[in-house]
Amino acid sequence: MTTIAPPPTQLIISFCQSAYLWLKEDIENVVVVHCKAGMARTGLMISSLLLYLKFFPTAEESIDYYNQKRCFDAKGLVLPSQIRYVKYFERILTYFNGENQPGRRCMLRGFRLHRCPYWIRPSITISDHNGVLFSSKKHPRTKDMPPEDYWFSAPKKGVMVFTLPGEPGLTEVAGDFKVHFHDRQGDFYFWLNTTFTENRKILNTSDIDGFDKRKLPSPGFQVEVVLVDYDGSFSTGSNAETDVKKSEEGSSIAPASADAAAAAPNQIKDPGSNDKDDVFSDGEADESESSKQKQAEASSAGAAQSAATPAPSPGTDSKSGEVASLSQATEQLSLGNMGSQQSHAATSQPKSEETGGTVSSIETTNSHSEFKAMAADASVFTFGDDDEDYESD
């Protein structure tokens, strides 16, 4: 353990097994544990050993005992991530008979900052024990953008969201990983393990390392980490290719057909989500475009219903014809708008891929607008939260 980071779970297990064998050899044998200050990392390992030797049944009791014996102020093991890993070890002992488990393979989709004041817009670095996995300062799509531009507001007030539109996620993680945020007020960070973490993990300020040292208070602040199970099967094709395919699919629809009218709502929704993931959407339209889509869906459903009903009386023939023609016109208009949006997305790819030149300022503007376009649909970010919206300053 060379830093204040919690060790890999396998290292905790190996240490406890080795210490137990040594203590069992002779009643006079002792174990000496130390680190730079002899408190935090030392406390993590000793608390884990006390659990392993069954001195205490829970991680909380073991940590409390160590803190009382080690420090006058009972503040020996206090870092949230280190305490979290003692609790991970308790679960390994309880549910896995002390055997280390392989890391669950996940894709880190993004983050959501709840009750986030305007002065928290951090850069992001994700790493594991082997090195950096993702950095917003080095990623091609965010390295030239200030954090204020790639953190965008969700419709739920006080919620800021970060993800990469059109991509499976930020990086693949398995087992231990660290999320490090940095802004003008300082750093805050935390370590998690995918095997013991649910796909939507919310951390309070008391669960985050270093947050208590920040100068400005942020009451109620929370970080939500969004993971999805990952098997390597996410599509890696470019957005342009996806848009072209969907454009071709949209152009092959026969609007006058009752079957096509019934399928139209699903086809309209498809371009809005490249990977069909319900966690973050990759292409929400603005409110005006959303209302047009709703109108198209309603009129298409009406056309399908009229096609399924028996032949109307002569007095209603003219009205049915008007409804059908209106439905067809509205659907064509909606599909036309979709086609223009898709062609715009297809042409927004950097021209350097074709000519070897540099990316123009117009393309940079398109990249910025791509991030901002994601905050249109409240259902994408709120997950049906019933609590009152937080009014950010």
Summarised one tens digit per residue, pLDDT across range 309-329 is 444 444 445 545 554 554 555
Say yes or no: 200 and 246 in one domain: no
**Does 374 reside within a domain?**
no
Tokens coding 166: 């059109």
Domain boundary, last residue among 190, 207, 229: 229
Domain boundary, last residue among 67, 95, 123: 95
Say yes or no: 84 and 177 in one domain: no
Check pLDDT > 60 for residue 114. Answer: yes
Q: 134: domain range?
A: 105-229
pLDDT digits (tens, 9 = 90+) for 167-201: 999 999 999 999 999 999 889 999 999 999 999 99
Say which CATH number the domain at 65 has. 3.90.190.10
**Does 363 reside within a domain?**
no
Say yes or no: 211 and 132 in one domain: yes
3-state secondary structure of 105: strand
Integer Cα distance of 107 and 151 in angstroms: 19
Say yes or no: 110 and 76 in one domain: no
**Does 186 reside within a domain?**
yes
Considering its fold, how many domains does the chain have in total? 3
pLDDT digits (tens, 9 = 90+) for 332-371: 544 444 444 444 444 444 444 444 444 445 455 565 555 5
Say yes or no: 220 and 259 in one domain: no
Say yes or no: 126 and 206 in one domain: yes
Say yes or no: 178 and 249 in one domain: no
pLDDT at position 75 = 82
Say yes or no: 27 and 68 in one domain: yes
Integer Cα distance of 328 and 284 in angstroms: 24
Integer Cα distance of 349 and 244 in angstroms: 12
Tokens coding 195: 């095997």
| Residue 381 to residues 165, 219, 276, Cα–Cα distance (Å) | 14, 21, 15
Least confident range from 21-30, 41-50, 248-257, 353-362: namely 248-257
Type of residue found at 222: Q
**Does 271 reside within a domain?**
yes
Q: Which of 16, 35, 106, 116 is catalytic?
A: 35
35 is catalytic: yes
Integer Cα distance of 391 and 116 in angstroms: 10
Say yes or no: 84 and 115 in one domain: no
Say yes or no: 77 and 142 in one domain: no
Type of residue found at 36: K
